[in-house]
Structure 1
Amino acid sequence: MKATLWLIALATILRLIFAGYTGLGVDESYMVAAAHSFDASYFDHPLVSWWLELGARALTGSAAPLVVRLPFVILAAITSWLLFFITARLFDERAGFWAVVAYSVSPVFSLAAGCWVLPDGPVDLALAAFMLATLRATGFIDGKPTPNCWLVAGLFAGLAMISKYNAVLVIAGVGIGLLLAPQLRAQFRRPQLWLGVLIALGLTSPLLWWNAHHGWVSLHYQGGRVDGGHLRPYMPFYVWGGEALFVLPWLWLPMIWAQIRAMRAGPAQAAPWLLAWAGLIPVLLFAVISIWSSTHILFHWAAPGELLLFPLLGAWARGISPRLRNTVAVGSGALLAGAMLFIAAEVQFAFLPHLDRLSKPGRSPLLQAIDWTSIGPQIPPGIDAIAAQRWYDAGKVGYALALDHVNIPVTVFAGGPHQFAFSAPPASFIGKNLLVLSMPWTMEQTASFCASSFQSFTPGPVLTVTFHGHVLLAMPTYIGHDMQAVPAPRA
């Protein structure tokens, strides 16, 4: 147990270093810039992750990277401990230690979910707690069923669903696993289980209420990802390959093998059976959808299901060659820690000169790793708002202004505005003067799209994003005076 606590502490320190010394990525910047109030839900995701960063800002009065990321770092430490506890009680403490090692060296879990301002950290903790409560309710943790734990399971199932929509896939998988296990089917006759279901539904009611009052935009957006395009039978292998890369291939493959073994063993080994079912639907569903979906399937979408396979992976790892296991663990940890420290050092000190020149102008990966704070002093006077043409540009600009305490709202004119459609709708700036970013369009395309919506539309300054004196991005702009109408969508 002490070794696990030291491991969690070391991983947390590395996450804190990364959180404090690198800028927010595109999605993180968007989440901070687009959320101005504690609402019942939001366009992309339910409320928990938004509330965490809003709460951190409200408590500290700061939007610094470490401040808004700190809640997510804390959640990762708690999730690590929950994984250890589940694995140790189902198998033994050695298996629990190796489950936490695997979690801590996996980039998608330890870094993305464990540090960044994203819904993945909250949903991971909620699902781990839901699984622990389920295992207690069914008697696999304490040796005898504890029916009242179904109330706790319902609480954390609800928290998971108001953290990220795909949590329902994991919860549904556990429910199917219960139904298919003859010795567990009787759990559905317990009133506590159904009270837990009611608690979960009660917790999800705010996001349903918000969606009902906003045209069900979130569900249309998320559900639209299954829309068909061309059939591509090879795509599941591409998706699984991407998932393996995000987890680490030498962890993902034995993880899936352990899941397959648990499924083949059947419900006779009920605890591994439930863990395997928890991950089954996410791992299969997104791969299957990719066969026809016109949406690019993101590799981290299956991660909530893969999270609950770590106990099976930990149990598998204790039985392999100690030399191989230790080599993989140390090598993987060094790889992740080295990458995190390298990025943080490069952002702070730019010790590799001209790194930005390895990419095309305006395409440097450093644009993701730094905050665009250089643009604040370049904004001309008399500007009431800034308009971008893409939500992620608006996110980076809006977050940079928040860091510089520049009180200028940011909106989005074209494409999918996402949460900006509600936090800063373009129509609210009628009669105002706007600085319009001409990116990614040419100046001519921007003028064609926007000029008729303003009393006058003249070229503005070129805003530059700089990194230790080097220009990474130049954004041409227009100044639109007295907006008369919202620019019409492009054909």
Structure 2
Amino acid sequence: MKNTIIVVLLATTLRLIFARYTGLGIDESYMVAASHQFAISYFDHPLASWWLELGSRWLFGSASPIVVRLPFIMLSAVSSWLLYLLTTRLYGARAGFWAVVAYNISPVFSLAFGSWVLPDGPLDAALLAAAYALSRALGVADGEAEPQTRWWAAAGFFAGLAMLSKYSAALVLLGAVFVLLTDPKARPQLRHAAPWGAGMLAVLMFTPVLYWNARHGWQSFDYQSGRALGLRLHPLAPLSIWGGEALFVLPWLWLPMMGLLLRALRRGPAERRGWMLSCLAILPVVLFSVVSIWSSTRILYHWAAPGYLLLLPMLGHWAAGWRPRWRNGIALFSALLLASTAMLIAAEVSFAVIPYSAIPAKPGKSPLLQAVDWDSIAPEIPPGINAVAALRWYDAGKIGYALRGRSTIVTVFGADPHEFGDSAPPFSLLGKNVLLIAMPGNATKISAFYAPYFKSLVPGPTLTVMHHGQLLLAIPSFIGTDLVAVPK
């Protein structure tokens, strides 16, 4: 246990440094800029991640990167401990230690979900807690264990928290239902009220999200389900999806996890520990790869991460029995690789340690645009401007975060405003003076299209995103006086 605590403390320290010295990414900036108040749900995801960053802002009176990221960093330490508890129960303390090591050297879990303002951080913690409670309720453990009915209430509660974190939690929870139906030792519990009560509790906790969607035209459900639509037949797409997921997890962790998943499925319910974990993991791991065969939407590699998260206990058990010299060397190499990469990014963002000539990117194409806050544009906003309107939600997010602390409203003109369509709807700007962001596309065409919506539309300043004297992005703009109609 002592070594596990040391790993968690070292990883948490790394995350705190990384969070302090890097700007918010595109998704993070968007979440902070678009959320102005507590609500029972939001456009992209349920309430958990939004409430965490809003609560931290309210508590500390700041929206600095370290403040809005702090709840997610603390949750990553909680997730590490929950993973240790789950793995120790199923496979023993040594396996628990190595599962925690794997979690904290994996880029997607350790840095992305462990420090960024994303719904995946609270999702991971809730899923691990739900899986632990499920193992207690079903009596799944290393050796003989009796089912503990009182744990069903905890399983339902944490399942509800998972659903309040991200919709994809439903895939893991469906796996839990499959465990109940297929495990001969678990199936008799369906004759009792406890598991049904747990399911009802989870649904009850999710009803605010259902209510919000009903009041908002089911826009969140439409958006998320629409990612599986379209037609772009590409039969080899799963290979690229799995390759990307392997890079996010780390290839030398991904390969044994996939092997362990297949072995657990082959053994079936007779080996209850592996069967429970594989049932919880299988849908996220497989579904998005299958959808990629036909979906016209780009499948993001981190969507399947909940499945890999539930495979970490098996990986920890496998690693505990592997050759110590190889295992320890790979773990140390992975930790140093992750830490050095994170520190290099932080040093470059805060101190520009890499010579500019070593980053051959034209303005607008630099990878630093994601990691650098666009604060340099704030003093360039002309006086008399009531609002800034971007044409893309992610540009609005970066601009909105740069204007934090100011009364200037930020919104999106276009068909895809995301949360800005609810938090700052364009109709609320009628009669106001708006700075129109003229990207992407041809500025002349943008001016001609939007001119009829204002009493006048004239060229505005070119906003510049700077990084230690280097121009990263030049943003053309127009000043619109008195918005007379909502742009279509």
Range class of TM-score, shorter chain: over 0.9
> Is the 8 Å Cα contact of residues 465 and 474 (structure 1) preserved in structure 2?
yes
The corresponding residue for 1:484 is 484
- Give the TM-score, by structure 1 length: 0.98
SS in 1 for 2:385: coil
**How many angstroms apart in 2 are the aligned matches of 1:324 and 1:357?**
35
Q: Which ranges of structure 2 fall in alignment gaps of 5 or more residues?
A: none
**How many angstroms apart in 1 are the aligned matches of 2:462 and 2:298?**
33
Aligned runs of 1:5-84 on 2, under 5 Å? 5-84=5-84
> Is the 8 Å Cα contact of residues 391 and 418 (structure 1) preserved in structure 2?
yes
**How many angstroms apart in 2 are the aligned matches of 1:293 and 1:275?**
28
Kindly state the Cα deviation for residue 283 of structure 1 after the two structures are TM-superposed.
0.7
Aligned runs of 1:83-232 on 2, under 5 Å? 83-141=83-141, 143-232=145-234
Q: In structure 2, give the amino acid aligned to 1:32.
A: V
SS in 2 for 1:228: coil
**How many angstroms apart in 2 are the aligned matches of 1:442 and 1:486?**
21
Q: Which ranges of structure 1 fall in alignment gaps of 5 or more residues?
A: none
**How many angstroms apart in 2 are the aligned matches of 1:434 and 1:228?**
35
The corresponding residue for 2:383 is 381
SS in 2 for 1:436: strand
Q: In structure 2, give the amino acid aligned to 1:289.
A: V
Q: 2:355 aligns with which of 341, 344, 353?
A: 353
SS in 1 for 2:382: coil
Kindly state the Cα deviation for residue 355 of structure 1 after the two structures are TM-superposed.
5.4
The corresponding residue for 2:428 is 428
> Is the 8 Å Cα contact of residues 449 and 487 (structure 1) preserved in structure 2?
no
Kindly state the Cα deviation for residue 351 of structure 1 after the two structures are TM-superposed.
1.1
The corresponding residue for 1:271 is 273
Q: Residues 328 and 124 (structure 1 numbering): CA distance in 2 closer, same or farther, change over 3 Å? A: same
The corresponding residue for 1:369 is 371
SS in 2 for 1:358: coil
**How many angstroms apart in 2 are the aligned matches of 1:433 and 1:268?**
68
**How many angstroms apart in 1 are the aligned matches of 2:118 and 2:63?**
15
Q: In structure 1, give the amino acid aligned to 2:202.
A: A
Q: In structure 1, give the amino acid aligned to 2:100.
A: V
Kindly state the Cα deviation for residue 357 of structure 1 after the two structures are TM-superposed.
4.5
**How many angstroms apart in 1 are the aligned matches of 2:457 and 2:45?**
36
The corresponding residue for 1:245 is 247
User: What are the superposed Cα offsets for residues 334-380 of structure 1, whole Å, 9 maximum, x if unpaired?
Assistant: 11101110011111110112158512321111111111111111110
**Residue 469 (1) aligns with residue 488 (2):** no
**How many angstroms apart in 1 are the aligned matches of 2:355 and 2:410?**
33
**How many angstroms apart in 2 are the aligned matches of 1:191 and 1:143?**
21
**How many angstroms apart in 2 are the aligned matches of 1:231 and 1:475?**
37
Kindly state the Cα deviation for residue 484 of structure 1 after the two structures are TM-superposed.
0.5
Q: 2:396 aligns with which of 375, 394, 408?
A: 394
- Give the TM-score, by structure 2 length: 0.98
Kindly state the Cα deviation for residue 272 of structure 1 after the two structures are TM-superposed.
1.4
**How many angstroms apart in 2 are the aligned matches of 1:37 and 1:243?**
34
Q: In structure 2, give the amino acid aligned to 1:452.
A: P
> Is the 8 Å Cα contact of residues 356 and 364 (structure 1) preserved in structure 2?
no
Q: In structure 2, give the amino acid aligned to 1:336.
A: L
The corresponding residue for 1:321 is 323
Q: In structure 2, give the amino acid aligned to 1:38.
A: F
User: What are the superposed Cα offsets for residues 217-271 of structure 1, whole Å, 9 maximum, x if unpaired?
Assistant: 0111011111131211101111111111100111011011111111111101112
Q: In structure 2, give the amino acid aligned to 1:259.
A: L
**How many angstroms apart in 2 are the aligned matches of 1:398 and 1:190?**
52
Q: In structure 2, give the amino acid aligned to 1:285.
A: L
Q: In structure 2, give the amino acid aligned to 1:6.
A: I
**How many angstroms apart in 2 are the aligned matches of 1:24 and 1:72?**
13
RMSD across aligned positions (CA): 1.0
> Is the 8 Å Cα contact of residues 363 and 471 (structure 2) preserved in structure 1?
no
User: What are the superposed Cα offsets for residues 152-197 of structure 1, whole Å, 9 maximum, x if unpaired?
Assistant: 0000001000100000000101211221111111121221111111
> Is the 8 Å Cα contact of residues 178 and 274 (structure 1) preserved in structure 2?
no
Aligned runs of 1:385-464 on 2, under 5 Å? 385-402=387-404, 405-464=405-464
Q: In structure 1, give the amino acid aligned to 2:308.
A: E
**How many angstroms apart in 1 are the aligned matches of 2:357 and 2:215?**
48
User: What are the superposed Cα offsets for residues 108-160 of structure 1, whole Å, 9 maximum, x if unpaired?
Assistant: 11111100000000000000000000001111248211101011000000100
> Is the 8 Å Cα contact of residues 72 and 113 (structure 1) preserved in structure 2?
yes
The corresponding residue for 1:261 is 263
